Chain A
């Protein structure tokens, strides 16, 4: 099991550029989510999905899009990057319902200049 994988590990973007952060899991988890982590603010939920074809907004969804076409993959798209999106991004997954141990990917450090 590779667990939760994220690519890239690091990325630098210019303001206005677009990009996709990739997230994949091989544990057949229904629930997947994206967080951003900024200093002193803990983790904030951006978007989440409870299964293929189903997505929903979290606490800070603006400026980000997601889709869930397969159980394994949950990409996060930045349509027009802004300096306020400089952050560390974590993807996570878990089984839906029951014991909720959420597994986190290693993170992507994004800088927008």
Chain B
């Protein structure tokens, strides 16, 4: 059965710190891996990764996928209090099934 495991489950840092969030997975037919940020309400899309070794970047956030070791990381540099959220990793398989991890709750203190 397809599975997505995120670590850590929660993390508390101070503004300016750099954080790395982890997502490991098992999937039968990989199509893509996606990262979302969820604040108070609905998740918002961050990145979609399909190929190993190609870093996706958006401002202070970046992500990379390793399809051989079956994991992805999400990096946030120079964290701000507005980065406080739950970060979700999701796996899409070729049959369009989507599996989400439980999420990492990030708290950034001033």
CB-CB under 8 A for A48 and B96, given A42-B88, A43-B90, A100-B48: yes
CA distance A101 to B6 in the complex (A): 21
Contact, CB under 8 Å: A102 / B45: yes
B102 at interface by CB-CB < 8 Å: yes
Q: Please report the total number of A residues contacting B with Cβ < 8 Å.
A: 25
B68 at interface by CB-CB < 8 Å: no
A100 partner residues in chain B, CB cutoff 8 A = 32, 34, 48, 92
CB-CB under 8 A for A56 and B102, given A43-B88, A106-B41: no
CA distance A99 to B56 in the complex (A): 13
B16 at interface by CB-CB < 8 Å: no
CB-CB under 8 A for A90 and B102, given A43-B88, A99-B48: no
Contact, CB under 8 Å: B34 / A105: no
**CB-contact partner of A58 in B6, B97, B102, under 8 A:** B97
Interface magnitude class on chain B? 20 to 34
A25 at interface by CB-CB < 8 Å: no
Contact, CB under 8 Å: A43 / B100: yes
- Residues of chain B in range 20-45 having any CB-CB distance to chain A below 8 Å: 32, 34, 41-45
Extra pairs beyond A59-B97, A106-B42 (13, CB < 8 Å): A33-B98, A40-B102, A42-B4, A42-B6, A42-B100, A42-B103, A48-B98, A50-B96, A59-B99, A101-B48, A102-B45, A104-B43, A107-B41
Chain B residues proximal to chain A, CB less than 8 Å: 4, 6, 32, 34, 41-45, 48, 88, 90, 92, 95-103
